[in-house]
Amino acid sequence: MNTVSSILSIAKSTIELESKAIANLSELLTDDFANAVELILNSKGRVIITGIGKSAIIANKIVATLNSTGTPAIFMHAADAIHGDLGLILKDDVVICISKSGNTPEIKVLVPLIKNAHNKMIAITGNKDSFLGQQADFVLNAYVAQEACPNNLAPTTSTTAQLVMGDALAVCLLEIRGFSSKDFAKYHPGGSLGKRLYLRVNDLSSQNMKPQVGLEASLKEVIVEITEKMLGVTAVIDNDEIVGIITDGDLRRMLTKSDDITHLKAKDIMGTNPRRIDKDAMAVDAMEMMEEFGISQLLVEKKGKYAGVVHLHDLIKEGII
């Protein structure tokens, strides 16, 4: 077997082994899972997630997922907890302990301390009969028959199972809470996905200059306005209402058709049915309109009055496209 085929064979074997283990998790779900979800939903406190080693890394990821989907969560390293960090846990907090074996020395020290403080505890473990499994109020069984590691030692399949169990918790919580795309945007304002959910046309167009000319504006006035406002377009306005649009392309086409251009006015050049969008529309709607009509600018309106221009470059700059 050559090197390439050998590598691909190992990769496929790893993926297949882990996928089978993950599929088996659904068979291990019990009422404890539903009870754990309800416990978190009804809690007045936060979710404290703890673990050690690779389980601690998974705990961090689950914390991030919960926080971003509306469930306040904090990571607490199991080793640090027994050396002062137990103060993180408040009276109404729910604690989730993650451990494959459920019998590590740190867990055996930590669990009684949590119990003594009367905090409810959820275990994510691959051994429901372990010390952790016996002491927890609810057990989420993340058992895997075999690690993907050929020596069955390095945490691979087991940590994947822990992560999936955490994702299942987070998704149940967000769906039951009715966590919406608008809620998601509040927690992700800086990312492109969040911007798609909250950024409005006015947020972009208000940063641009506002090119406009009247119906009787001369050709020179039109060219100067388009050049100075640097958006490749100007609106043609009458009583603050949009009556037309002139683009760079309109000017080029006019030059190819007319020998005498000195007499031309804005009304002679303009397009009379410009695409427009309300200032309170979502930026992603502007993007879809531009894609649909193959254009790079939209005129913006506020209550039927001209309010500015949104440009394709604005959307690119903000990561909407």
Rounded mean pLDDT of 30-37?
97
Res. 24: pLDDT tops 80? yes
Rounded mean pLDDT of 212-240?
93
Rounded mean pLDDT of 237-264?
86
SS (H, E, C) the chain: CCHHHHHHHHHHHHHHHHHHHHHHHHHHCCHHHHHHHHHHHHCCCCEEEEECCHHHHHHHHHHHHHHHCCCCEEEEEHHHHCCCHHHHCCCCCEEEEEECCCCCHHHHHHHHHHHHCCCCEEEEECCCCCHHHHHCCEEEECCCCCCCCCCCCCCCHHHHHHHHHHHHHHHHHHHHHCCCHHHHHHHCCCCHHHHHHHCEHHHHHCCCCCCEEECCCEHHHHHHHHHHHCCCEEEEEECCEEEEEEEHHHHHHHHHHCCCCCCCEHHHHCECCCCEEECCCEHHHHHHHHHHHCCCEEEEEECCEEEEEEEHHHHHHCCCC
In this predicted structure, what is the pLDDT of residue 192?
58
Res. 184: pLDDT tops 80? no
In this predicted structure, what is the pLDDT of residue 50?
96
Res. 244: pLDDT tops 90? yes
- Looking at per-residue pLDDT, the higher value among 42 and 262 belongs to 42
Q: Give the confidence band of 40 by pLDDT, cuts at 50, 70, 90.
A: very high
In this predicted structure, what is the pLDDT of residue 61?
97
Could you tell me which residues come within 8 angstroms of residue 187 by beta carbon, excluding any fewer than 6 positions away? 67, 68, 69, 70, 194
Percent of the chain residues past pLDDT 70, beyond the cut: 94
In this predicted structure, what is the pLDDT of residue 186?
64
| Burial class (CB within 10 angstroms; exposed 0-12, middle 13-18, buried 19+) of 37 | buried
Res. 198: pLDDT tops 80? no
Q: Average pLDDT of the chain?
A: 91
Res. 258: pLDDT tops 90? no
Q: What is the pLDDT of residues 126-161, one digit of tens each?
A: 999 999 999 999 999 999 999 998 888 889 999 999
In this predicted structure, what is the pLDDT of residue 257?
78
Res. 255: pLDDT tops 60? yes
Res. 57: pLDDT tops 70? yes
Q: What is the pLDDT of residues 96-116, one digit of tens each?
A: 999 999 999 999 999 999 999
Percent of the chain residues past pLDDT 90, beyond the cut: 74
Rounded mean pLDDT of 181-189?
64
Could you tell me which residues come within 8 angstroms of residue 296 by beta carbon, excluding any fewer than 6 positions away? 232, 290, 311, 312, 313
